[in-house]
Each structure stands twice: as C-alpha cells, then as structure tokens.
Amino acid sequence: MIKKLFLGSLLLGTVLSAEPKMEYQISLVGMNMDYREYDSSGDILDSEKSNYSDIAGAEINYRYFLNSNSNINVNILAIAGESNYVGSYIGSGLGYGSVESTTNNIVKDISIGYNAKNNINRNFAFLGGVGFGYRYWQRELSSTQIEEYTWFSARINVGLEFFYKNFTSSLIAEYQYGINPEMSATGFDDSFDLSSANIVKLSLPIRYKINRNFDITCAYVFEYQKIEESNVLYDSTATGYVEPDSTAYNQYIKVGMVFKY
C-alpha cells in the first residue's frame, strides 16, 4: 500500500512539473499606419496615416510544442479602423493634397509555421522558423470606391532570444514573399495583378512568467511593406488604370496574456 502511494505521488509530481505542451496567446493590438502610393516618376500620389488607437483589434496565437526547443504555431490577426487619406481625385489634375478624407480599413493576417531555437548558453538562444500565410487588406475610401488587396506568402524568420529568471525578450526579423498578389476594385470585373507584395518585419516581444500556466506579454513590431505596380485594366469607357507602386511603414503595439497547458 505504501509503495502504491509512493508511486502515485511520484507520477502526480512528474505530471505537475512537466513542461506545458501547448499555449494560447491573446493580445490587444493597435496599428500606426504610414502608407503611400507613387507615380512612375516617384512622386507621391496619395497617403494614408493613422495612430495606434485609430486602427485596433486582436491577435490570437496557438503553439503546440514538439519538444522544449521547437513548436508548430498558428497566428490570426484581425484589426479595423480609420486612417486619414490625403491625395486627389483621379483625373482632376489638382495634385497631391487637394483632397483629404477618411478611409475605413480592415486588415487580416493568418499564418501557420514551424519555429525552433538553439540554446547558446543559459541566457541566450538563436531562433529560426519557416511558415506560410495569407494577407487581406480592405480600403474603403468611399461607399463607391472599395479596394481589396490579397495574397499568400512564404515566410522565414531568424532571431535572438534573451532570458533571465522570469523575463524573456527577443529580436526577430521576418521576410514575407508574396505569392500571386492582386487587388480588386469597385468598377472593375477583373483584379489587378500586382508585380509583387513583400513584407519585412522586425519584432521585439517581451514576456514575463507569472506562474507555470500564465504569462503576460507585450511587443513592438515594425513592418515595411512594398507593393509594385500592376498590369493595366480598362473600365467601361476603355480608360486604362494601374495600381501604382506603394510603400507602407506600419508599427504595432501588442499587449496580451499567455495561457499554458
């Protein structure tokens, strides 16, 4: 009887002390947007800007740990809000700044990936990963002018992680190569085929362990997005249009909680 109690206590202790096999992270997200479109000469055509509180939403991340140094993860980001548009009416000839308005935005990003780390010593580790994702961005400039950008992407990331006691911080660089990027717009039956749509992202997440099953986290993310000019599409009057070159310098602040099991 004593032997059985001892074995039971040992098994229970092993289960309780085992590392979590999965975790869920839920974060509130604010986005600072700085988007610009350019003509063939490189002059600015229009821009969109917002503060962190103007475009906001949530992010959910799920990780399943294959072992202590590798995991499979799924990430879903969904944010929406307004940005300040500065530009001009097409064909007006008045130039940049002649029109100011508000654009309604919806941004969704979904990805699945594999991540691993290699411990250098007791405080540092190299990080690396690969993944596949989908990006969606809707710009509602008015009730009669809605643009939707969509593309899949292959993703790769590298980074360095620092951990000390209950604190963990990382610096992670990610490159996203857009696959079959396109943009659909009101008034056109076909979509514009974008020459490219690639993203470079730098992330600085910080995490504090409360206990075995709960962490709090925050992160700063800088994102550079480059879209290159599309093919020519014609409207009902046989007027040709292109989606021009554009850049976006987006910044995100994320604050959240992690639940580990």
pLDDT band at 92 (very low <50, low <70, confident <90, very high): confident
> Exposure pattern of 138-163 as b/e (b: 16+ CB <10 Å)?
bbbbeeeeebbbbbbbebebebebeb
From the list 85, 212, 193, the residue with the least C-alpha distance to 149 is 193
Query: Region 58-74: what's the mean pLDDT?
Result: 97
Q: What is the mean pLDDT of the chain?
A: 92
Q: List pLDDT tens digits, range 99-115.
A: 999 999 999 999 999 99
Q: Assess whether pLDDT exceeds 70 at residue 1.
A: no
Q: Hey, what's the torsion of the CAs at 142, 58, 197, 81, to 10 degrees?
A: 20
Query: Could you read off the pLDDT of 130-185 as tens digits, one per residue?
Result: 999 999 999 999 988 999 999 999 999 999 999 999 999 999 999 999 999 999 99
Q: Which two tokens stand for residue 179?
A: 């696959």
Query: What pLDDT score was predicted for residue 18?
Result: 57
Q: Are 14 and 49 in contact (CB under 8 A)?
A: no
| Alpha carbon distance 30, 139 (integer Å) | 17
Show the tokens assigned to 25: 């992270």
Residues 6+ apart with CB under 8 A from 27: 58, 59, 60, 61, 217, 219, 254, 255, 256, 257
Domains plus CATH for the chain? 20-260 (2.40.128.100)
Task: For residue 61, give both structure tokens.
Answer: 């991340």
DSSP E strands: which ranges in 122-212? 124-142, 145-164, 167-185, 192-211
Residue type, 185: A
| pLDDT digits 0-9 by tens, 224-261 | 999 999 999 988 788 899 999 999 999 999 999 999 99
Per-residue pLDDT band for 11 (boundaries 50, 70, 90) equals very low
Report whether pLDDT(46) > 80. yes
**Per-residue confidence (pLDDT) for residue 5, from 0 to 100:** 43
Read off the pLDDT band of 9 (50, 70, 90): very low
Q: Which residue has the higher pLDDT, 63 or 20?
A: 63
